[in-house]
Structure 1
């Protein structure tokens, strides 16, 4: 992938709207699926960001709406403590080097995630999921749809 882009403050970097494309591959069966949609990171009144993702997940030719919500809470030194919507811990996130690995045990399964930042507007996650009934790879690419710190410029299609 080349050089990683260091992020001194995860929450400041993630704030805003992102387009999302996720491939899902079941290594045991060979089945593949794809999620396309968007995600937004909005400030929580209590600090941190509320992450809401929504879109369409196509699995074995069947399209279904899909969404999820996570909470990204401030951690030490510009890191984040990522939690499920109900407050259960998910993983930590430190992008100060532009790259981070995290594990999340879930019942008999282990989710191992790798986060990489390519530049100011592109980042990726790859989750490898292994367990008695799971052998998956989930690869997600994020592309910024807006820049919270950049002035909006009008385009000819704006009204």
Structure 2
């Protein structure tokens, strides 16, 4: 199976679980993620959903990223950047279960993607640092 940047374009139903191990709290987000084409090799990722974190009142949560594809020897990879263009991580689409790391001193982020049930897919983040210790599982399904 070969997945390309183009196949992510469009709307996705998003379900997320956050397992906060430091505070022994679970969070749940239900919402949507939309990837919009802005250039031949660029999608803008925007997610919005309702987040319930522990016993707190529900709140609106949003995230925005830039997904950039490559040509040539790096084709099959997506560079995920923060909204301001700073590098975040890389998704290697030639692997069904790619992973990558991101260091944001003093915290460490590790992501694993799972494309084995495409077009259902998920990302699993493990985040550790002096004040962070959580696992975040996000599941995406075509709308």
Q: TM-score, normalised by structure 2?
A: 0.91
The alignment partner of 2:75 has SS state of: helix
Q: Which residue of 1 aligns with 2:61?
A: 66
Q: What is the RMSD of the two structures over their aligned residues, measured on CA atoms? A: 1.3
CA–CA distance in 2 between the matches of 1:87 and 1:29? 32
Structure 2 residue aligned with 1:137, among 125, 135, 140? Answer: 135
Q: Which residue of 2 aligns with 1:93?
A: 91
Task: Tell me, yes or no, if structure 1 residue 12 matches structure 2 residue 10.
Answer: no
The alignment partner of 1:44 has SS state of: strand
* Alignment deviations for residues 77-127 of structure 1 (CA, whole Å, 9 cap, x no partner): 221110010001000111212110110111200000000113332001000
CA–CA distance in 2 between the matches of 1:117 and 1:87? 25
The alignment partner of 1:57 has SS state of: strand
Task: Tell me, yes or no, if structure 1 residue 111 matches structure 2 residue 105.
Answer: no
Runs of 4+ with >6 A deviation: none
In the alignment, structure 1 segments of 5+ residues that lack a partner are 1-5, 146-159
State the 1:16 CA deviation: 1.1
Higher relative contact order (CA 8 A, sep 6+): 1
State the 1:28 CA deviation: 2.0
Aligned residues between the structures: 139
Asked whether the 8 Å contact 2:123–2:137 carries over to 1, the reply is yes
In the alignment, structure 2 segments of 5+ residues that lack a partner are none
Q: TM-score, normalised by structure 1?
A: 0.83
Q: Which residue of 2 aligns with 1:42?
A: 36
CA–CA distance in 1 between the matches of 2:24 and 2:2? 35
- Larger-Rg structure: 1
Task: Tell me, yes or no, if structure 1 residue 31 matches structure 2 residue 25.
Answer: yes
CA–CA distance in 1 between the matches of 2:9 and 2:114? 17
